[in-house]
Homo-oligomer: A and B are copies of this chain.
Amino acid sequence: MTRHSAVPPPVTAVLDASSRWLPAGLGRVEEMLREQGHGYGDLLAADAGMTLEAGGKRLRPLLVLICAGEGGEEVAPRAACAIELIHMATLVHDDVLDDAPLRRGKPTVAASSGRDRATATGDLLFSRAFALLARHGDLRSIELLSRASVALARGELTQRQDAYDTSVTEERYLERCRLKTGTLFECACLLGCDDEELGRFGAEIGLAFQLLDDVLDVSGPPERTGKARGTDLLDGTVTLPLILAIGDDPQIGAADLRSLDPPAAEALCDRIAATGSLERVRTRALEMVATAKRRLGSTSLDPERCKLLDLVADGVVQRYG
């Protein structure tokens, strides 16, 4: 038996610190996500339902709800549900492309139902997000989310075009992370509240989140990350830990990523770690989070919500503490 959507610790900390409206909103989002997996007849729900119930940190919905605050009872949970659907769609497609066996320690849709059904499932989740918002006339949300989706796809395309290229620059890597991850965090904040400073907060913690995720791929341990070390290397995805390590030890850059097998990828992870690049990337990410947190004082949010966003930012970091 699978236990569904256990709330992860960073989210718990945020919920504990908030008054009633936030857990209520998040409960509504979970309910909406479950509804998305049904109403397609018998068999059809299987693949989509599996993805929706696999849980996750729900960081993006949390950002929407906090930024919207106590007032946004109907609109905010819907936008939160939609952004999570888009996020899930990209995860499902990513897993198809990476032939990933596991996500969050469970079989991916691609692994359990096949690449073809997983691709269709991703498309379905994607379409549902826009259909949900359109049905209720949430034009502003659609505009924000469709723009973010374009950025996501561009980021994905850049990543695939740059695959196996160890000469990728730090700037290009950062731009790709902004497109792939930063934009959706930024979008989450803006969906909740039309405040550009909040958008910048979101973009920064999103970027930090991606950097730390890339550290984790090299550092593991697999029992905490739910996937093998060096998965990015095996996919040919050149990330900042590798880019910085190459700067220190040019021999690392001479490695042919296309010829790596899992043990060789783990060995390369060790070499990358030995240069100290993981610590430098981590420091960089922590600085970004600190900058983002300082920004909160200049937003239009009340102290309770600033505190909650502060905790979300901590959550991004704590996973890797």
Q: Which residues of the partner chain B approach A154 to less than 8 Å between Cβ atoms?
A: 40, 44, 124
Task: For A157, give its contact among B44, B139, B146, B158 (CB under 8 Å).
Answer: B44
Would you give the 0/1 interface string for A134-150, flagging 1 where the beta carbon is closer than 8 Å to chain B?
A: 11010100110011011
Task: For A93, give its contact among B40, B114, B119, B137 (CB under 8 Å).
Answer: B119
Q: Which residues of the partner chain B approach A47 to less than 8 Å between Cβ atoms?
A: 157
- Least Cβ distance of A225 to chain B in Å? 22
Task: For A139, give its contact among B126, B139, B152, B161 (CB under 8 Å).
Answer: B139
A7 within 8 A of B: no
A123 within 8 A of B: yes
Q: Is the CB of A134 within 8 A of B123?
A: no
A267 within 8 A of B: no
Would you give the 0/1 interface string for A25-63, flagging 1 where the beta carbon is closer than 8 Å to chain B?
A: 000000000000000100110010000000000000000
Q: Which residues of the partner chain B approach A130 to less than 8 Å between Cβ atoms?
A: 130, 142, 146, 149
Cα distance A47–B157 in the bound complex, in angstroms:
9
Cα distance A160–B93 in the bound complex, in angstroms:
16
Q: Is the CB of B97 within 8 A of A153?
A: no
A115 within 8 A of B: yes
Would you give the 0/1 interface string for A193-215, flagging 1 where the beta carbon is closer than 8 Å to chain B?
A: 00000000000000000000000
Task: For A120, give its contact among B43, B135, B157 (CB under 8 Å).
Answer: B157
A307 within 8 A of B: no
Q: How many copies does the complex hold?
A: 2
Would you give the 0/1 interface string for A213-234, flagging 1 where the beta carbon is closer than 8 Å to chain B?
A: 0000000000000000000000
A257 within 8 A of B: no
Q: Which residues of the partner chain B approach A134 to less than 8 Å between Cβ atoms?
A: 139, 142-143, 146-147
Would you give the 0/1 interface string for A96-134, flagging 1 where the beta carbon is closer than 8 Å to chain B?
A: 110000000000000000111101110110111011011
Cα distance A226–B149 in the bound complex, in angstroms:
33
Could you pull out 25 A-B pairs where Cβ atoms are within 8 angstroms? A40-B154, A44-B154, A93-B120, A114-B160, A117-B160, A119-B119, A121-B157, A123-B126, A123-B149, A123-B152, A123-B153, A124-B150, A124-B153, A124-B154, A126-B126, A127-B146, A127-B149, A127-B152, A130-B142, A131-B146, A131-B149, A131-B150, A134-B142, A134-B147, A137-B139
